[in-house]
Amino acid sequence: MNLIPKIARQNFLVQSNIIRHFSSWRKNRMNDPNVKETKIGMNFMLLHSKLEEYYSKRELLAILKKFGENVTDPNETINPDVCEYLFYESGYYKCPEEFNDHRYMFKERPPPSEKAPQRPPIVTIMGHVDHGKTSLLDFFRKSNIVENEAGKITQHIGAFTVHIGEQKITFLDTPGHAAFLEMRHRGAQVTDFVILVVAANDGIQPQTLEPIKFIKEAKVPMIVAINKCDKFMKEVKKVKDQLLANGIELEEVGGDVQCIPISAVTGLGMDDLTQAIIAQAEIMDLRAEADGNVEGTIIESKTVEGKGTVATVLVRRGTIVPRTTLLAEKAYCIVRTMIESNSKTLTRAAPSTAVEIDGWSSVPPIGSKVFQVPDKEYALGRISSLKQWEEQVNRFKSEHTRLKSLLLRKLDPFYRQKMLEVTGSLKGGMRWNMDDMVSEKETKQVPKVNIVIKADVLGSIEAIENLLSSVPTNKIRPVVINKQIGPPTESDVELASLANAIIVNFNVEPPANILSKCQKKKVTIKSFKVIYHLIDFLNEELCKRIPIEYSSLKIGEAKVLKVFEISDGEIKAGGSITTFGDIRKTQENLYAVKVVRDSKVVYEGSIDSLKHFKQEVSLISHPSEFGISFKGFAVDVSKFENQYIAKPTTTHLRFRTDTNVPKLGVMLVGWGGNNGSTFTAGILANKMSLKWQTRRGLQNANYLGSVFMSSTMVLGPSEEDLDNLVHVPMNSLVPMVNPNEIVIGGWDISSMNLADAMDRAQVLEPDLKIQLKDAMGKMKPLPSIYYPDFIAANQVERADNVIPGTNKNEHLEVIRNDIRQFKKANDLDKVIVMWTANTERFSDVKEGLNDTAESLLTSIKESKDEISPSSIFAVASILEGCPFINGSPQNTLVPGVIDLATQHAVPIGGDDFKTGQTKIKSVLVDFLVNAGIKPLAITSYNHLGNNDGANLSAPKQFRSKEITKSSVVDDMVKANFLLYSKNEHPDHTIVIKNVPSVGDSKRALDEYENEIFMGGRNTISLHNTCEDSLLAVPVMIDLIILMELFTRVTYKTECETEFKNFNVVNSFLSYFLKAPMVPYRTPVINALQTQRRAIENVLRALLGLPIYDDSLLHYRM
């Protein structure tokens, strides 16, 4: 009974002290003109006496020296501006002690005595996203929460009470997604102990480390549950090692943390986990009084239509009953109804109960403490006092900031500069960030994006604001101008319209009239139910609004050799010669020119005239001589004397080809996949000269689709038959590997033998499969590397043949040993390794990770997460001296791999087999652009039904494929600057859908929208049905043949004495690849016929024949 008057007295005294102290401070520091305007210096002794709490004498002398104050005499006077600055930066002028946070002035009762009744434990479930936290809770609840969550990830703190036998337990389920950092933090603060869920297949992840940190900070016990052990029990030891490495001392090594393998789906180990929870609660002997005033915590708050504001309260002490008056900061509540997690209405909420309470006056802040107060009048008085306190604190901080800004502006320029140099080196007190130091003009130059946030609960708003706060503000500044619980209203639309803002809705649906109004007002409004979809949208919108920064790239250079006068000396033109690149006539916003004289730029502008043999041209290519004049600039003849004249030169190359064709082995990564099994079956069928029945009749084995096995090339005109050109098979020009002689082996994450894999692929005819079954049934892939993070989750069902453990260096050595054993067992001369397995996600390329050979090998030894399986196979191949080809779209050949290949002189090639849709596109777009027809839009749909389609249904793997497919037209578009201005590009859309029913018979649907003469339009639609693997296998064969050939070809110039190899990055493979890798500073060519001519001409060069240019001048002249 005495508690309330005491609190009231304390509240009054505190408020009085705040007002009194603030008024005194403000009068002394703000309103006294002598303090603000009169510069009073002080000597070093006096200055140090005032600041000795913040700086030692040595530190203060060092700081003063940075300001240019070299103090030699303790009585020497210090510049007053410097003194004033140090007072502020050190914290000498600081917020009065009475300004401490008084939101929780209610004195909490002392800890409950041993006589208090026991209460149920409050257990928080934490862990990385999608590690099975909610599935674990579902097991206890016998429900299926996870299926009801958008995106199947938890997005709010869920508070649930369950009964396990006679034991009652309150669980808090926290979101694992990175955006919900604060929710996890709150979960750690209000819990009795934590269950940390770690998936056995993933191990410790970034959002696992954060809860570990919070648990340690909150000093609460934990139990570790290693989930998904029904499938990944062999990974448990790896996870335990990771836990120990992160400072979690498990019971089995003498610590106090229980670690239990479980499966939340099958129930494996759940009895053990239940016993561990009950045992932990008994050890902690949790108690709380059920009588007396209520204390609790706000877990979540939101607005519900028909009920108003509701909040989930976790009761810590006391018992809530209807009509109880509660206070949480500036919100009060007269309890109307209390609902438990199972929708049951309660009449009493005892300690450790989480209940949803309605009747709140406003939305209480999440994480705020809840106290019981006598009545509404007292609550309103308490809220009024708190508002006064906040106003006083805000005024103090505002005046403090204003005075510091005033000081910054009035500092002498010398000391201002020194202050900017040393800011950040001082310690203690408040800090001036760089925003305080830049001018208003500079601040305004950073564009801002206004955002209105509407969400279902405060926690969601908090998560979105956290995301926005992490955006770097030197390019774009997101500003939340309004944030509220509930769907958007007309006032939100009006505000967004006036402020040019985006409205973002999370877990709330805007009414139809609001959507209509947004459309009329041209306001962007988007609704989301999954947090990562919202993240993607905001990133896209912010990136779109970042101003374009233009950079210059030197595309050509020339020297002026002689100056000519045109039109009676009015204009001077320079006779010039290129030194490299192209000289292009200036177009609007495209090409600019600089004239450099004596290392100084004397002119920047545009080219007025560009002539070649008196003919006006728009392009001069190196090497060429030409005439040039500039707009508004006359060339000075005297400055171009004594210049050397560069003349075109001819380089003679000599090629040497080893004609001894080796015994070749090919090891396929993904041997048991559709491509691998079809590759093996096709070569065996040709080797055995098989015939089989089809619905169209008897079929013979062949190599149709292979350039080297089934196509010819022009050798030249015939002396005997002048009407015809001589064509010869491509594989007849120089000795090449016969595919029938290739020895095949490889790896796969599936243990299925090749006969069963061939059946699973459903590519070949039944009669052919019967004939091959015995031979292929004896073939079984070696265990492969499987890192779930790099391929789609749906591939886990196949992964029963993987190299154990997570040590990537050990995996590398296993692969190297496999290559050596394969080569030795089959008595091979050479081995080529080819990746034809699943598409991986892109790996991050970072300095010190995989940018050099040394960093890549170190990262493999340290088992860094971003080292992909395909990169490990590439490294193993290179270290064993075996050429490596990447047939998938991911960035296997990171800079470190290329560096390693260069050091070991081992050829590599990639990326992504070019088979159907992309191959046609590289022909058609080349034709259109070269015909002067402008493709405006290219829309490509793909229906895939094999395992490739299943894997590419995952977003990250699809992105890898999208990148390679979308870049195929870039060089063709770039080549015709008459059609496309700078940064202009056809609208190129790629869609890939997993349609299981189409099997290996993929569908490719393309539509080309083109601009033709006088603004007309032309539409070309293509429908391409093709057996995916039957197109890919001939490409694989050609890649192997050509790669092997180049291991036997060397060259030298007439000036060199030694023959040398081609560049390790074999760009002659480009014809067969969607995203061809090329050597550094080599143009990427995707036009199919240009790529083929490159192969033909190099084959001619190996025979000593001239390059064939299709001009046929000897016929046409």
pLDDT along the chain (1117 residues), means of 10: 29 34 40 40 77 79 75 77 70 51 52 82 82 79 46 48 80 52 50 88 80 79 91 89 87 89 90 89 88 86 81 89 90 90 86 89 84 89 81 69 58 52 42 36 62 81 73 71 85 83 87 88 85 74 68 69 55 65 61 69 72 73 74 48 39 83 95 94 94 91 93 80 80 92 95 94 92 94 92 82 94 96 94 92 87 92 93 95 93 91 92 84 87 90 69 55 63 83 84 78 86 91 86 94 94 78 90 86 80 89 80 61
Residues 6+ apart with CB under 8 A from 1: none
> What are the residue boundaries of the structural domains of the chain, listed by start?
3-101+391-437, 122-284, 295-387, 440-544, 556-640, 662-714+726-915+1029-1117, 917-1028
Concerning whether 1038 is annotated as a catalytic residue, the answer is no
pLDDT at 722: 64
Residue for token digits 């061809």?
1076
1072: amino acid identity, one letter: F
283 burial level (CB within 10 Å; 0-12, 13-18, 19+): exposed
Residues whose CB falls within 8 Å of the CB of residue 863, separated by 6 or more in sequence, listed in order:
806, 807, 808, 809
Q: Tokens 């090409």 belong to which residue? A: 591
Fold match, 295-387 / 556-640: yes
For 921, how many CA atoms within 13 A lie in the half-sphere containing its CB? Answer: 32
Determine the Cα–Cα distance for residues 41 and 39; give it in Å rounded to an integer: 6
- The residue among 281, 233, 277, 241 whose CA lies nearest residue 258 is 277
Contact 976, 931 (CB under 8 A): no
Tokens encoding 967: 């870049």
CATH 3.40.50.300 at 122-284, yes or no = yes
Angle of helix 869-879 versus helix 808-825 axis, rounded to 10: 50
Active site (annotated) includes residue 1002: yes
Q: How far is it, in rounded angstroms, from Cα 1110 to Cα 714?
A: 10
Tell me, what's the pLDDT at 259?
92
Residue 312 contacts by C-beta under 8 Å, 6 or more apart in sequence? 157, 159, 298, 299, 300, 301, 354, 355, 356, 357
pLDDT of residue 417: 54
Which residues face 607 on adjacent strands?
630
Domain 917-1028 sits in CATH at: 3.30.360.10
Say yes or no: domain 295-387 is CATH 2.40.30.10: yes
| Upstream peptide bond of 759 is cis (omega within 30 degrees of 0) | no
Which CATH fold topology does 662-714+726-915+1029-1117 show?
Rossmann fold (3.40.50)
pLDDT at 1114: 57
In whole angstroms, what is the distance from residue 780 CA to residue 818 CA?
13
CA distance 904 to 900: 6
Report the 10 Å Cβ neighbour count for 592. 12
Q: Where are the alpha helices (DSSP H) in 933-1085?
A: 947-952, 955-966, 970-975, 1028-1046
pLDDT for 877? 96
End-to-end CA distance of the chain: 117
Q: What is the pLDDT of residue 399?
A: 63
Which residues, 6+ apart, have CB-to-CB distance to 77 below 8 Å?
41, 42, 43
| Contact residues for 931 (Cβ-Cβ < 8 A; gap 6+) | none
Q: What is the DSSP letter of 964?
A: H
271 burial level (CB within 10 Å; 0-12, 13-18, 19+): exposed
Which of 2.40.30.10, 3.30.750.24, 3.40.50.11740, 2.120.10.80 would CATH assign to domain 556-640? 2.40.30.10
Residues in the chain: 1117
Give one DSSP letter per residue of 1085-1110, joined into a string: ---HHHHHHHHHHHHHHHTTPPPP-S
Q: Using an 8 Å Cβ cutoff, are 146 and 135 in contact?
A: yes
Closest to 319 (Cα-Cα) out of 273, 351, 341, 287: 351
Burial class from Cβ neighbours inside 10 Å (0-12, 13-18, 19+) for residue 375 reads: exposed
What's the one-letter identity of residue 633?
A: F
d(CA 867, CA 967): 24
Between β-strands 664-669 and 830-835, what pairing exists: parallel, antiparallel or unpaired?
Answer: parallel
Annotated catalytic residue within 369, 769, 961, 965: 961
- The CATH code that applies to domain 440-544 is 3.40.50.10050
Closest alpha carbon to 261 in 269, 249, 253:
269
Question: Does 387 participate in catalysis according to the annotation?
Answer: no
**Catalytic residue of the set 912, 971, 1000, 1006:** 912
Q: Give the model's pLDDT for residue 21.
A: 38
- Per the structure block, which two tokens stand in for 52? 């000795």
From its phi and psi, is residue 797 left (phi > 0), alpha (psi between -120 and 50) or beta? alpha
According to DSSP, the residues that pair with 686 across neighbouring strands are none
Nearest Cα to Cα of residue 328 among 458, 469, 240: 458
Q: Give catalytic status of residue 1074 as yes or no.
A: yes
> Given phi > 0 = left and psi -120 to 50 = alpha, else beta, which region is 165?
left
Is the C-alpha dihedral spanning 908, 914, 918, 923 positive or negative? positive
Catalytic residue of the set 240, 823, 830, 1074: 1074
Q: Which is catalytic among the residues 1002, 1006, 1028, 1038?
A: 1002
Q: What are the residues facing 196 on neighbouring strands?
A: 126, 224
- Tell me the two tokens of residue 492: 């939100």
CA atoms within 13 A on the CB side of 775: 16
